[in-house]
Structure 1
Amino acid sequence: MIEPVFMKKKIFREGEQLGRLLLRPFELFAEKEASSGILILLASAAALIWVNSGFSESYENLWHIRTLIGAAGIVLDRPLHFWINDGLMALFFFLVGLEIKREVLVGELGSFRKAFLPVSAAVGGMLVPALIYFALNPAGPGLRGWGIPMATDIAFVIGAMTVLGSRIPRGLIVFITALAIADDLGAVLVIALFYTSYISVHYLSIAAVLLLVLVVMNVLGFRKTLPYALVGIPLWLFVHLSGIHSTVAGVLIAMTIPARSRYDTDDFLNRASAVLSQFQCAGSCGYSVYTNSEHQSAVRSLATLCRKVEPPLIRLEFHLHPWVVFLIVPIFALANAGVSLQLSTLLPALSDPVVLGTIAGLVLGKTLGISFASWLAIRTRIAELPEQLDLRHIYAGSILCGIGFTMSLFIANLAFAGTPELATAKIGIFAGSLISFLAGFTMLYVVSRKKEEPRRH
């Protein structure tokens, strides 16, 4: 009887190790997103302090500094604000595209049954906020802002859950992450379809040809990322010139990045074993790489093999993610979060339909849309709850998803650029996101605490 017990323990340990291995990417993602949330918060606070200090004019002047870039007769003379919102944020959307493609191929969106719950929750969490906003802004200049409360800021949501540590079931973070990625895809579609003012068929045709070139490169087996960048940058330019928001180009380019490596794992192991066999020493090798040319060559061969076994999509996502979450998004927050909070303008703004629609959409719309869509999917048995979760966790998470912030600010700039409604929309975003954070965090704390408390007899 000893052997079967030993085998059970061994199987259990191996299963536990496999579980930790599968969950580690989500843990790393959560850690980075949580840290990014702090930086975004600091950048936003700096913008608010700057605008409401005696140096507000310098804040506006900084983002209006013009920079000229161009060649071959096509020149872009744009302010710094453009290069942040349309240039740097294209990299943000490129990363979003990579995450979407990975999740669809091998992640939580990889099968109908796995994807249905977070996707249906994301759809509900976009439609209901938009309808609530529209009900409060059926006409007038505020109507264009209906897309503002549809967004979810994953950095702040994950950051809020991370504060609670081990109280939060890992399945909830996985569910919210998949929901947010589906939500990002919906936001990209909304931007492309509804926030495009004009279309240039000429430039759009050139962009389509360049996109086709990227697809052909993928089919032909191009695995180095430089050729994709050389074609992708002009694609970004022509998408912008076509009238479609240039950040959409980031997602389109991401969809063409290869998700398969040159070598599969078995091939890599065989080749790596052959290279490792070159490290033969009489006794200890020590620091032989300094003096042994064969060992130096073997190390370079191993490095090449490691690059070729890692899919370009995974490699780009891994290397780009820190730059986006720690630099690009905080810079975007600094450039866009500045709004006057003087009492003379703040109090009248709180009764503005744009502010009310944004707050109601984020706080009520996200909660009702996500929780109802999730309940309906589970009730009809089309989807099932992840392990360790119940509907209370989903409800608490849906409240937190009302933290729109980064994407909401982005859509607000598209909807109200150069109009007084932009400032009021920002106030609504700040207020709605803050209420959602406080209510969602409190609810999640209560739900998690109740789940941990032992039953008393």
Structure 2
Amino acid sequence: IINFETGNTLRGWAIPSATDIAFSIGVLSLLGKRVPLSLKIFLMALAIIDDLGAIIIIAFFYSTELQYMYLILMIGSFLALLIINKFGVKKFAPYLLAGLFLWYFTHESGIHSTISGVVLALTIPHRVKEKDFSLLLKLEHILSPYVAFGIMPLFALANAGVSLEGVSTKTLMTPVPLGILCGLFFGKQLGVFLFSYLSIKLKFAEMPSNANWIKIYGVGILTGIGFTMSLFVGNLAFIEDTQHMDGVKIGVLCGSLLSAFAGYFLLLIVSNKK
């Protein structure tokens, strides 16, 4: 709404849509046993669905003109992965090889290549039979340390750098950072709470065990921690308009920090009262 009549800044509409799983779960974990395990699972599920939605948005709204030949080859690579899965292959090498082709063809097709990672993950075997193992869980166990202590910090370091020199309240009130801040802090918590409320009241879902509405609202606030994913979407939105990138970073930083502190202290107060 804030950026509706400001021309190309409307391209950043999807920036607040994603949730940074690592940071949001990290903040909730600071509360330790004060919050039930069900709330952590609830936040994890929300964040995963959130990020999948963001990736779909990237694929449809931030991709270039489609190249249909590469699109066909991309689908062919996906079918090859499904066949490998169907034959019950538990070696990673065939998935890696087909996945590299999938990534290349996706990139060349005009669809953002991040979608290839999601597609590849969907084809890696997860079911565990007797005296067998889950290849997906094994890969997750191997890759988790590299992602948590290598890729994520490097991504944050490369994308979050912004000079705060000359930043004032007036700077924060410009359309881009203000829109992002409001989307992350107000939009996410209200959207998550209303969706959760309607889902539970309409019997589509159940209230997490040992939780209540105020705790659900607190978790909703934590989904406003966009940070790395929001910065990623921001880079795509303004890839040819670098003048707005500092505004994106300031908006994401302020919105994420505000959500982290507000969500943490609300849940802390509620837990202590109990």
Q: TM-score range by the shorter chain?
A: over 0.9
In the other structure, the counterpart of 2:81 is 214
Bigger radius of gyration: 1
Secondary structure of 2:120 counterpart = helix
Question: Counterparts of 1:380 and 1:159 in 2: how far apart (Å)?
Answer: 31
Distance in structure 2 (CA, Å) of the matches to 1:348 and 1:201? 46
- Taking the TM superposition and a 5 Å limit, the aligned residue runs for 1:29-428 are 135-139=1-5, 140-261=7-128, 264-265=129-130, 268=131, 309-343=132-166, 346-419=168-241, 420-428=243-251
* Structure 2 Cα separation of the partners of residues 373 and 205 of structure 1: 37
| Structure-2 separation of matches of 1:353 and 1:187 | 22
1:438 equivalent to 2:264? Answer: no
Q: Deviations over 1:197-241 (max 9, x none)?
A: 211112111111111111111112222111110111121111111
CA RMSD of aligned residues (A): 1.3
Amino acid of the residue matched to residue 233 of structure 2? I
Partner residue, 1:82: none
Matching residue of 1:46: none
Are 1:429 and 2:213 counterparts? no
* TM-score when normalising by structure 1: 0.58
Count the aligned residue pairs. Answer: 272
Residue 59 of structure 2 aligns to a residue whose secondary structure is helix
- For 1:449 and 1:311, locate their aligned partners in 2 and report how far apart those are by CA, in whole Å: 40
Q: CA 1:195/1:346 → structure 2, altered by over 3 Å: closer, same or farther?
A: farther
Question: 2: CA distance between counterparts of 1:383 and 1:237?
Answer: 39
The whole-number CA distance in structure 1 between the counterparts of 2:112 and 2:98 is 18
CA distance in 2, matches of 1:348, 1:204: 46
Code of the residue aligned with 2:4 in structure 1: it is P
Tell me how far apart the structure 2 counterparts of residues 355 and 221 of structure 1 sit (CA, whole Å): 49
Aligned-partner Cα distance in 2 for 1:260–1:433: 36
What is the rounded CA distance, in whole Å, between the counterparts of 1:381 and 1:260 in structure 2? 29
TM superposition shift of 1:178:
0.9
Aligned-residue identity in percent? 48
Aligned partner letter, 2:102:
L
- The one-letter code sitting in structure 1 at the alignment partner of 2:206 is E
Counterpart-to-counterpart distance in 2, 1:410 and 1:317: 22
Work out the CA distance in 2 between the residues paired with 1:426 and 1:197.
24
What is the CA-CA distance between 1:347 and the residue it aligns to? 4.8
Please state how far the C-alpha of 1:340 moved relative to its aligned partner: 1.8
Q: Distance in 2 between matches of 1:197 and 1:347?
A: 36
Residue identity in the other structure for 2:159: N
C-alpha distance in structure 2 between counterparts of 1:401 and 1:258, whole Å: 29
Q: CA deviation at 1:382?
A: 2.6
Residue identity matched to 1:311: S
**Structure 2 residue identity aligned to 1:320:** L
The whole-number CA distance in structure 2 between the counterparts of 1:373 and 1:208 is 34
| 2-structure distance, mates of 1:320, 1:313 | 10
Shift of 1:348: 4.2
Within 5 A, what are the aligned runs for 1:2-13? none
Task: Output one character per residue of 1:44-70: Cα deviation in whole Å (capped at 9) or x when no partner.
Answer: xxxxxxxxxxxxxxxxxxxxxxxxxxx
Which residue number corresponds to residue 302 of structure 1? Answer: none
Aligned AA for 1:201? Y
The unaligned stretches of length 5 or more in structure 2 are none
Q: Offset at 1:325? A: 1.6
- Structure 2 residue aligned with 1:288: none
Distance 1:355 1:383, change over 3 A: same
Q: Which runs of 4+ in 1 moved over 6 A?
A: none
* 5+ residue gaps, structure 1: 1-134, 269-308, 452-457
TM-superposition CA deviations, 1:166-212 (whole Å, max 9, x none): 11111110110111111111111111111112111121111111111
